[in-house]
Amino acid sequence: MARGELRIYLGAAPGVGKTYAMLEEAHRRAERGTDVVVAFVETHGRKHTAAMLADLEVVPRRSMTYRGIGFEEMDLDAVLARRPELAVVDEFAHTDVPGSRHAKRWQDVSELLDAGISVLTTVNVQHLESLNDVVAQITGIEQRETVPDAVVRAAEQVELVDMTPEALRRRMAHGNIYQPEKIDAALGNYFRTGNLTALRELALLWLADKVDDQLEKYRAAHGIDQTWETRERIVVALTGGPEGSTLIRRAARIAARNKGSDLLAVHVTRNDGLAGADPAELARQRVLVESLGGTYHQVVGADVPRALLEFARAVNATQIVLGASSRGRLAQLLSAGVGVTTTALSGPIDVHLVSHERAGQGRRRSRLPAALSRTRRIAGFLTVIAGLPLLTALLKLGPALTLTNDILLFLAAVVGVALIGGLWPALLAAVAGSLLLNYYFTPPTGRFTIAETDNLLALAIFVIVALAVSWVVDTAARKTRQAAQASADAQTLATVAGGVLRGERPLIAMLDRLRETFALDSVTLLDGDTVVAQVGHPACTRQSEADVAVNVDHDVVVLLKGRTLEASDRRIVEAFAAQAALALRQERLAAEAAAAKPLAEADKMRTALLAAVSHDLRTPLASAKAAVAGLLSDEVHFDPDDQRELLETADESLDRLDKLVANLLDMSRLQAGTLGVTAIDVGAEEVLPRALDDLGAEGRTVRLVLPDELPAVHTDPGLLERVLVNLAGNALRYSPADRPPVITASRHGDTLELRVIDHGPGIPRDRWDDVFLPFQRLGDRDNHTGVGLGLALSRGLTEAMGGTLTPEETPGGGLTMILALPVGAAA
């Protein structure tokens, strides 16, 4: 059975028209003869959307009850039994009611697709898992219903339903999205122009990446390796030399000229692993390219130009930035070089050759270390001085051999000397051996002359072979030593990196590991004249006090005290000095983020407060004003009953307003630390009745289950009454009429626990902390009940009195709030 196809309508925010566009497509499919059913569509009371359901078959929903509350969900079994060609399923990221077959609606859709049923569905950008935290930072609202990006990317089609922020706000103002009582709060909070613009850009960028993935799959499936200039991608090639920073900045300027361009830096490492790139320079350049918004890559290849072009074609690059050759003119005449070769083979990819300070000055090679130790070189020279005369004597005194055999024996001696002492002793052996062969074994003997041409040729071949063998042996020894050094460097880098990753503070861990690895007394990181971090003793605070100073950039310097370092060790230290600068940057960014967090929280609360004032304060004010205006009006005459009803309305509204303002003032005092607390020993049985009286007639329905002997608590009676009013009022709001809240009390050691128990819908365990945040309500329902300060204020007041307020699940469903207070001294 063929799997069904998934088509997703993606929007930047609610109300852009995703469901409407989806239903339009359903009508088009139905008109073409496709068997279409509506499995689940949520109209949200929008009449235009509801009208689109006409002439479409709708599968009845499945009714479910969870914790005493009725819900309607898509009837998955009914849709599967109906087996249409196309099912319309709204709200792809929806969380199913507990007890459903799947936890998420996208899992229901996956089962429909597996059954061969194609699906049309909708999702907003804030529901994408990868963008969830970004959207929360922009809007200040964390979206808990998410869908994995991979699920959305796997869809056969993702269509963006777009609308400008101004048009969307007009739709909101006209009442086409939310109910009238929610419009003001929505326009001042989530649907601000800046929020909608940012969400729109996120949706466009996410969809662009999705389209880019589809393009890559198409190119791979059809074997297309030519560059398609759908988006500017600039690849900058790094050699590990100091000119890399210039190239990166030049490439970044090219990328900045084209909106949406990608910057990629790549270093090609030769596959012998022995290229002379400076790891410290590469580390610094990696930090630079990432700070400019690019990415760093490293590839391995024997042929640098071809490896570079293979990478560029693989990422669909449009431009390559290379540095002008640093080689001298003679070297450029002998070989084309990377730049010329890359340009010749680049095809449609543009190549920029950027000049820099070292262009054409020749490569500055560092002096290579000797292939063999000094002892072995001395041993090689001694072998030449003693061995060659001994070999000559043995050949003269022993049985006579042909000249060919004599040459082979001397050649073996040269190879032996090369193995013992390396190149220079072997060269000496080759020259000395040729002279000895000429004088003692080549006719006419006893003179430095050669009579026969064949003997001259044999002796010349001996010299050439001896020199070649000496060179090969010495080169092999040098490469072996370099490989061993590279392996040791890699091991050191891995050890230091491992120690850093395991540490809580990367910067301190890095410096301490460097000090330990190289047996230093102290390591100090300076930023200008300021000591940023330091480990070990004695500390050095100036470059003049350090044995080694490693400059990371103009301001950041790593000072080492204890001993000087060899050149190979210094390279490792330079690499980690660059990483230390990166760690310093990360710590500072973290500190700035931590410093900005309280400001962000304050801004978030201020925004929520403004939204609350715009709606929740307006409602009681409007009610009171309407009642008073009616009483003052000369146009309408009210009888005494109507007048009393208007006065009661005004009184009730003003009471609500008074409580709301009191909560706001108390919360501000709590946050400012100016709330006065007068704690005395008081009986809970004295405070509880007063709190329930404050709730009016509803408070009389709350059941009190108290023990006969209840110890006094040490608390502020007035504040405790406020807390109990908020807790009991919250419990009454969510409890069913036939199961009113219950308040119980029990002593546990030096603590008295008051439990306010309701049997309402409850709150998921992962959202218990959310109910104590200011200006938060569970969901977007019940907007007439206040600004969401009750529980936040209750916890703050409780903690100010030295107690705790924690939630607990009520057995059988509901929420229990546990108010724990210290028992009085008399008890």
Residue range 582-603, pLDDT digits in tens: 777 777 777 777 777 666 665 6
Number of Cβ within 10 Å of residue 327's Cβ equals: 19
**With pLDDT > 70 as the criterion, what percentage of the chain qualifies?**
79
CB neighbour list of residue 707: distance below 8 Å, 6 or more residues apart:
745, 746
Q: What is the pLDDT of residues 14-60, one digit of tens each?
A: 888 899 999 999 999 999 999 999 999 988 888 888 888 988 999 99
Band (106; pLDDT cuts 50, 70, 90): very high
The least confident of 234-238, 573-577, 780-784, 814-818 is 780-784
Q: Which of 143, 139, 194, 144 is closest to 607 using CA atoms?
A: 139
Kindly report each contact of residues 94-101 with a partner whose C-beta sits within 8 Å and lies 24 or more positions away, as own/partner. 94/145, 95/144, 95/145, 97/64, 97/66, 97/71, 97/73, 98/66, 99/64, 99/66, 100/64, 100/73, 101/76
Q: Find the mean pLDDT for residues 252-277.
A: 74
pLDDT of residue 604: 55
pLDDT of residue 92: 92
pLDDT of residue 667: 61
Number of Cβ within 10 Å of residue 140's Cβ equals: 17
Number of Cβ within 10 Å of residue 203's Cβ equals: 23
Angle formed at CA 525 by CA 519 and CA 526, multiple of 5 degrees: 140
Contact 67, 810 (CB under 8 A): no
> Which neighbouring-strand residues pair with 123?
10
Q: Which of 442, 420, 418 is closest to 430 using CA atoms?
A: 418
Look at residue 273 and tell me whether its pLDDT is greater than 60.
Answer: no
Whole-number Å distance between alpha carbons of 157 and 7:
5
Q: Taking the mean position of all CA atoms in its chain, how far away is CA 282?
A: 23
The least confident of 221-225, 294-298, 437-441 is 221-225
Residue 669's H or E segment, with its range, is: helix 640-672
4 DSSP assignment: P
The least confident of 403-407, 485-489, 795-799 is 485-489
Residue type, 552: V
Residue type, 320: I
pLDDT of residue 780: 34
Whole-number Å distance between alpha carbons of 763 and 779:
11
pLDDT of residue 467: 76
Q: What is the pLDDT of residues 51-103, one digit of tens each?
A: 889 889 999 999 988 877 888 899 999 999 999 999 999 999 998 888 888 98
Whole-number Å distance between alpha carbons of 63 and 74:
9
- In the sheet that holds 804-809, the strands lie side by side as 703-705, 742-748, 751-757, 815-822, 804-809
Measured between alpha carbons, how far is residue 340 from residues 56, 265, 271, 298, 614 in Å?
Answer: 66, 19, 22, 21, 68
Q: Find the mean pLDDT for residues 760-786.
A: 61
Burial category of 294 from C-beta neighbours within 10 Å (exposed 0-12, middle 13-18, buried 19 and up): buried
Q: What is the pLDDT of residues 497-516, one digit of tens each?
A: 554 444 445 677 777 777 76
Dihedral of CA atoms 208, 209, 211, 215 in degrees, nearest 10, equals: 130
pLDDT of residue 216: 62
pLDDT of residue 333: 59
Whole-number Å distance between alpha carbons of 559 and 380:
42
CB neighbour list of residue 622: distance below 8 Å, 6 or more residues apart:
none
Q: What is the pLDDT of residues 781-821, one digit of tens each?
A: 343 344 445 677 788 888 888 899 999 888 878 889 999 99
Q: What is the CA radius of gyration of the chain?
A: 41
End-to-end CA distance of the chain, in Å? Answer: 75
> Which neighbouring-strand residues pair with 747?
752
CB neighbour list of residue 792: distance below 8 Å, 6 or more residues apart:
667, 772, 773, 774, 775, 776
Is the model more confident about 720 or about 372?
720
The label of the residue with tokens 């990006």 reads: 149
pLDDT of residue 783: 37
Look at residue 387 and tell me whether its pLDDT is greater than 80.
Answer: yes
Band (616; pLDDT cuts 50, 70, 90): low
pLDDT of residue 781: 36
